[in-house]
Structure 1
Amino acid sequence: MANQYEIVSDDSTVCASPRRSSFLPFHRPSIDDGEIEEMIDTLRSGWLTMGPKTLRFEEQFARYIGAKYALAVNSCTAGLHLALNAIGVGPGDEVITCTFTFAATAAVILHCGARPVLVDCLPDTLTIDPAQVEAAITPRTKAILPVHFAGHPCEMAEILAIASRHNISVIEDAAHALPAAYHGQRVGTLGDLAAFSFYAGKNITTGEGGMVTTNNDEYADRIAQRRLHGISRDAWKRYTDQGSWYYEITYPGFKYNMTDLNASLGIHQLRKCDRFHAKRQRCAALYLEGLSPLDEITLPTVQPEVEHAWHLFPIRLNLESLTVGRDSFIELLRQEKIGTSVHFIPLHMHPYYRQVFGYRLQDCPRALSAFERIISLPLYPEMTEEDVGDVVRAVTKIVAAHQRSAIHG
């Protein structure tokens, strides 16, 4: 991708093509007539909550991932909670996870009455550091909860080996990771359980929603019951000609089921998942090509043994080479009509975890450093190559204007 900027004076004034005429959002969902018609069909069917379309979505998702079971829920957060609950996480237990993640990953551990043990990320992929996982294991450790950050799978071979040595479970936080793979095996089939997100900004969407996958019969049965009040595996059938009004509570469950309205979107989104992924890969390749000349930017790492889902395209600013910080860089991109986000504010930096568990900022230095430098650029199937080019030009322009060089003093 050609660089359209040039230095035209001794004070490094940058001449650039005009900025975009319209704002490029950080994300825009890809919805077409297929989803709309399926949604209308559901509305006309009279069955709006969990029912036949949810079951169809589950069956199709399980086949796509290669898992024995897929259980639809109303969010990835609910899925993680159910997964922890299914393996028996409770008061007095500890669950190890990465500090470089969203609030839900650790909140569900707390909801089970257990303690989240936060460890640092690897310096390149920003996924959980297996060495720190092993160092954090105690007799109270019940599970490891690795987060496949931005769509790049964690070092699962090492994590699974650690879990096997210590006889603990692995639950994958796969919110970013559809359809990522590790050594040719789809994320969602690597650990004991996994939870996916279908939030509006994810690689496929049901508006709100999630999916738990597992190959374990017992875990699947527990989740099927506990996602719907703990009644029974097929509680929804009591309103069909196959069911009965009578039911028994086998566990004090949750209201975590997906609806057929959400599943209507998911059925069609899943059919387009490979096409969406190819578009994300193309956008990521253009970003890597266009931004690679900039020494002031660290680009995402992709390890050779993985297939990246490219949920996010996070760059890190080499602040030592720039005269502006991360927040100012984001504002300058906004002025160029480019939307961005930041993933994530590490959990150990938040007041709750500092006050309740005594975490200090310096406890996870890699995550802290990444947070201070990271910016997620727009990346979604609706983006055109011209959109990607606009982002590259805007980043290049800002870098050129704010290089920390001899000219800038």
Structure 2
Amino acid sequence: MMIPRHSVGMKYSDYWPYFASRFVPGLYRDRDINAVTEPLMPHAKTLGTPTGRHALWYFLDLKDYPLGSEVLISAYNYYVVVRLVVQAGLTPVFVDIEPDTLCIDPEDVARKVTPNTKLIIATHMFGNPTNMPEICAIAEQHELDIFEDCAHAVGSYIGDTHMGQFGSGALFSFGVAKIVNCFGGGMLALNGQAAENYQPPKHGAGFRHSMIDTFSRCLLTTIYNPKIYKFTMLPLVRWGNSLSRRGRHWLRNLIAPSKNDAAWYFEPDQRAEFKPFMVSMLDRQLSRIESNVRERRKNVAKIKAELAYHPDIKLLNEDKHGMSNGSYFGVYCEDKQGLSEYLLAHNVDNNPQEFFDCSVLAQFEEFKADCPNAQYASQHLIRLPSQPTLKDSQLDSIIRLLKGFSLEHAS
């Protein structure tokens, strides 16, 4: 059986709010997202948004920085985040990452602060906590705002503080490939004075498009089921890659939207609005987030323990600054493409190019920077399965294949 690169670990009962809302539209109208998130984030006001990227867009709208203001942002990133900054009329200043966490490097942040800097965007990449005490100290010294990208970070902590409560605001994403899946939607968390009386603009696709958009994500979630993945999602992945090699990227971009698309432009009304049933889906999954994270961390720990003495597979230090949720799991390999093809040939799906060193992408040429750690991650990091639905036999297969590739590569 093919081991999928991702499986959110949802239960069939998690689908119920979606289907119930189709028949009784007002059923979840009174659900309060703040009441659901308060146990996790007691210091934040939370607002549902159509996507995670909408949350960043709304935050920039709220702050209304002068045009041309500088935003310090991790070079190893989802290119869409950078495009949003540029589209808002701001100047991204690329900062290198810590190679062992994939998160923004506070030392490089300190070097790149200028009188025109207004904001630091701290991305908790793969759910690994950024060094927020250092980032907060720099921000306080220079009177800068902090915005946390928590798209991967539901269930990640520094001490007793959940990510998303260290700065003025944060985004969360509840898409199909995230640790919490609400068939789309996202969340803006606001802290301190930023939270007072702010209501984001109303955005969302028309009724028909919205229905199709949400249903497509419900369907996509279903075909990620490990039992049928080989017959559903995997053929689409292979077909998308085949089309992409011939210059037709539409299917690959639909399946794996992290791919670099220089023509991408943020249109707030192109995605379904945050719907009331999503609050109930969020509530159900947050009630199990501790067990979800525990299983992911257990899987990551087992793989890392077995690979500790295989130098051709280099490991991260996910818990360097806090407790990572194990949302995504990555390793470095000099022959990343070779490892990816080897695993795929042995029925282990993976993602060899999910994020980029945005500082060298052609679409950001005018903001180009030298970020060697981000470049190395872009060239050599591969994401592997770590989801809570993995069986012991599947974990053993992944470990055996990684060891086998490492030994072959060494010889």
Shorter-chain TM range is 0.7 to 0.9
In the alignment, structure 2 segments of 5+ residues that lack a partner are 205-266
Counterparts of 1:217 and 1:44, CA distance in 2: 40
Shift of 1:63: 2.6
Counterparts of 2:61 and 2:111, CA distance in 1: 25
Residues 52, 151 of structure 2: 8 Å contact kept: yes
Check 1:254–1:32 CA distance in 2 against 1; reply closer, same or farther (3 A cut): same
Counterparts of 2:202 and 2:391, CA distance in 1: 40
Identity rate of aligned residues, in percent?
A: 23
Counterpart for residue 293 of structure 1: 309
Counterpart for residue 132 of structure 1: 108
The answer to whether residue 23 in structure 2 is matched with residue 44 in structure 1 is yes
Residues 97, 117 of structure 1: 8 Å contact kept: yes
Counterpart for residue 333 of structure 1: 343
Shift of 1:35: 1.5
Counterpart for residue 379 of structure 2: 372
Counterparts of 1:208 and 1:90, CA distance in 2: 31
Residues 67, 213 of structure 1: 8 Å contact kept: no
Q: Secondary structure at the match of 1:95?
A: strand
Shift of 1:143: 0.5
Shift of 1:306: 0.6
Shift of 1:36: 2.3
Counterpart for residue 248 of structure 1: none
Counterpart for residue 105 of structure 1: 81
Residues 226, 254 of structure 1: 8 Å contact kept: no
Matches within 5 A, 1:242-257: 257=273
Residues 82, 227 of structure 1: 8 Å contact kept: no
Check 1:275–1:303 CA distance in 2 against 1; reply closer, same or farther (3 A cut): closer
Relative to the length of structure 1, the TM-score reads 0.80
The answer to whether residue 284 in structure 2 is matched with residue 268 in structure 1 is yes
Number of residue pairs the alignment of both structures matches: 346
Shift of 1:216: 2.6
Shift of 1:217: 4.7
The answer to whether residue 180 in structure 2 is matched with residue 204 in structure 1 is yes
Matches within 5 A, 1:5-20: none
Counterpart for residue 260 of structure 2: none
RMSD: 2.1
Paired letter, 1:52: D
Q: Secondary structure at the match of 1:39?
A: helix
The superposition leaves residues 276-331 of structure 1 with CA deviations (integer Å, 9 ceiling, x where unpaired) of 111111111111122223121111203454111111111012x3xxxxx2112111
Counterparts of 1:337 and 1:299, CA distance in 2: 22
Counterpart for residue 261 of structure 2: none
Match of 2:388 among 368, 381, 391: 381
Shift of 1:58: 3.5
Counterparts of 1:221 and 1:42, CA distance in 2: 29
Counterparts of 1:347 and 1:305, CA distance in 2: 24
Residues 181, 308 of structure 1: 8 Å contact kept: yes
Structure number with greater Rg is 1
The superposition leaves residues 178-202 of structure 1 with CA deviations (integer Å, 9 ceiling, x where unpaired) of 1111133110111111111111111
Counterparts of 1:90 and 1:144, CA distance in 2: 15
Counterparts of 1:379 and 1:285, CA distance in 2: 10
Counterpart for residue 312 of structure 1: 328
Match of 1:346 among 349, 354, 357: 357
Check 1:220–1:208 CA distance in 2 against 1; reply closer, same or farther (3 A cut): farther
Shift of 1:388: 1.2
Shift of 1:68: 3.3
Counterpart for residue 405 of structure 2: 398
Shift of 1:387: 1.4
Q: Secondary structure at the match of 1:221?
A: coil
Q: Secondary structure at the match of 1:52?
A: coil
Match of 1:226 among 198, 201, 208: 201
Check 1:85–1:294 CA distance in 2 against 1; reply closer, same or farther (3 A cut): same
Q: Secondary structure at the match of 2:77?
A: coil
Q: Which moved more, 1:33-42 or 1:131-140?
A: 33-42
Paired letter, 1:83: F
Counterpart for residue 19 of structure 1: none
Counterparts of 1:364 and 1:107, CA distance in 2: 18
Paired letter, 2:394: D
Counterpart for residue 283 of structure 1: 299
The superposition leaves residues 229-256 of structure 1 with CA deviations (integer Å, 9 ceiling, x where unpaired) of 9xxxxxxxxxxxxxxxxxxxxxxx9658
Residues 167, 191 of structure 2: 8 Å contact kept: no
Paired letter, 2:19: I
Residues 59, 70 of structure 1: 8 Å contact kept: no
Residues 36, 279 of structure 2: 8 Å contact kept: no
The answer to whether residue 181 in structure 2 is matched with residue 171 in structure 1 is no
Shift of 1:264: 3.6
